Structure 1
Amino acid sequence: MLNVLFTGLFTGLALIVAIGAQNAFVLRQGIRGEHVLPIVLTCLVSDLVAITAGVAGLGAVIERWPGALPVAQVIGGIYLLAFGLHAALRAWRPTGLDAGTGSRMSGRTAVLTALALTWLNPHFYLDAIVLLGTVANSFGADRWWFLTGALLASTAWFFALGYGARLLRGLFAKPTSWRVLDGGIAVVMGALGVTLLTH
């Protein structure tokens, strides 16, 4: 059982830790110290729902109706391009952590952004539902131990990313550091958006 749990843990980490729009958003909000807990919980609940659905067999359903994925790709690609453009504008006129409250994101907007960056990304469905669901089901009755390991990976990663980012607050008190971070986020978001729209 433990070997299946650890397999789920390391497989989950391998997929979650990859640089992407969701992680970039959690990192940025963690550095700013804005709505970290709601964002982290939103990401965790999303993973819980998707991975559990995959282990329960929803991955097989998506494989039978692949037409839903291209639609998600177009919507997700457009959203990522828009998000990347917004990050590029922030990089053009960066501010430090002491910026006024007018630049802060509301809690509702933060949660909705986290949801959009998660559920409008077709790779999320492929990774969480199809891939993890397929691997988990290969363990038969022990698949729920695999699910537990994958969810532990998700929990550890998002809390570490969201709250560990505070250690970088000193560095990001300077507008130049935000210019570099937001510029990098703009490049990542833009590249992911173009990839989704062209594939």
Structure 2
Amino acid sequence: MSKRANNWYISFKYDNEPTQTAKERDVIGVDVGINTLATCSDGTKFANAKAYKQAKKRLTRYQRRVNKKELGSKNRAKAVKRLSKLHKKVADIRADTLHQLTTWLAKNHSTIVIEDLNVSGMLKNHKLASAIADCGFYEFKRQLTYKCEWYGSELVIAPRFYPSSQICSNCGHQQKMPLNLRTYECSNCGFTADRDFNAAVNLENYGMEVA
């Protein structure tokens, strides 16, 4: 039993029998990011809810109100409760967005290919840490792992240093791709594509190679 924002929750375990669902596609590559939460190799995109970013000003304001209240007072308890409710709302929005994405992937695709992101390392970038944490990359991988087991799908994780963003998905040429470049323009064959979509197609190709 646990308590979140003045609400009580009961946790329990149960045995779940995997349910094989009909698949719409054999292999799909998924590139996750900050601007767009997920870009898939079939062209589907999932927007990032950015729940924390949208609530940041209110969270800061509520936190200031808590700090100004006298310790042990009823007014402080009310302020803490209000702050806790907003934190819970942010977490719930993020979780719901991830659940919709991971359920769709696991139910409708035989093999899902993602990258092994170094989330802890990414969070050391102070300029992007807040935005990265708001995406919930670790939770994305966790949900996708158990849902693939539920729906009879396979999760393939490309190696951490697989250069999905640098490879041309059309001809296989590899070139440097600084983070500020949002369009992939191949210097070898002239192929042009959205950076994230190109990476997602490369992840799909990787999944078909290792299958």
TM-score (norm 2): 0.28
Structure showing greater Rg: 2
Question: Which one has a larger percent strand, Structure 1 or Structure 2?
Answer: 2
Q: Pick 1 or 2: higher relative contact order, CA cutoff 8 A, min separation 6.
A: 1
TM-score (norm 1): 0.29
Question: Which one has a larger percent helix, Structure 1 or Structure 2?
Answer: 1
